[in-house]
Amino acid sequence: MLSIRNLLPPLIIPGHVADLYEQAFPAEERRNLTAQQVLLNSGALRLGLLENSEQFAGFVFYWQLTDFVFIEHFAVSPEQRGAGIGSAVMQALEADHRKLVLEVELPHTIEAQRRIRFYEGLGFKAYAFNYLQPPYQAGGAPLPMLLMQKGMPPEEHTFTKISNEIYLEVYGC
């Protein structure tokens, strides 16, 4: 049975979460673990630990922003993939928060296309406007991404409001 256990500060990122975080996301798409730890302990960033029959199944790092939840990083452990965990997590987050936003790579690779189809299958829609993910590391370049939403209006003014809040609160710019 899948459960999402929200870990509360103060906490230390568990080793299995840190390992999966570093395996699942390239360096340019993640913070260093020290910075991640600081945000968690400030209460700004939240960590949901995914467990399937009491076994580690993955994690979700997310932000509760003004009127939506921004899912910053979400990964299911390789041995647990294909069991419906990803869908169950997204449905649980939607049930708790109703409005969800996330970033996804542009559809230039088969893996990125698969990810986009997964989110579209859950009812997410990509905004039709250009979005750049600010760099996580000093001196890094912004990354072109898609901003996807569920439960939010598709208009440009909503996209602008959401992206501005993400830039300010999540990326500090």
Confidence category of residue 53, pLDDT binned at 50, 70, 90 = confident
Mean pLDDT, the chain, rounded, equals 92
Hey, how many other C-beta atoms are within 10 angstroms of the C-beta on 40?
20
Q: What is the pTM assigned to this prediction?
A: 0.93
* Tens-place pLDDT, residues 120-130: 999 999 999 99
Burial class (CB in 10 A: 0-12, 13-18, 19+), 143: middle
Q: How far is 105 from 103, CA to CA, in rounded Å? A: 7
- Helix/strand/coil for 173: coil
Q: Which of 26-30, 78-82, 113-117, 149-153 has the lowest mean pLDDT?
A: 78-82
> Any residues with CB less than 8 A from the CB of 10 and at least 6 apart, and which?
41
Task: Catalogue all structural domains in the chain, each as residue range(s) with its CATH number.
Answer: 2-169 (3.40.630.30)
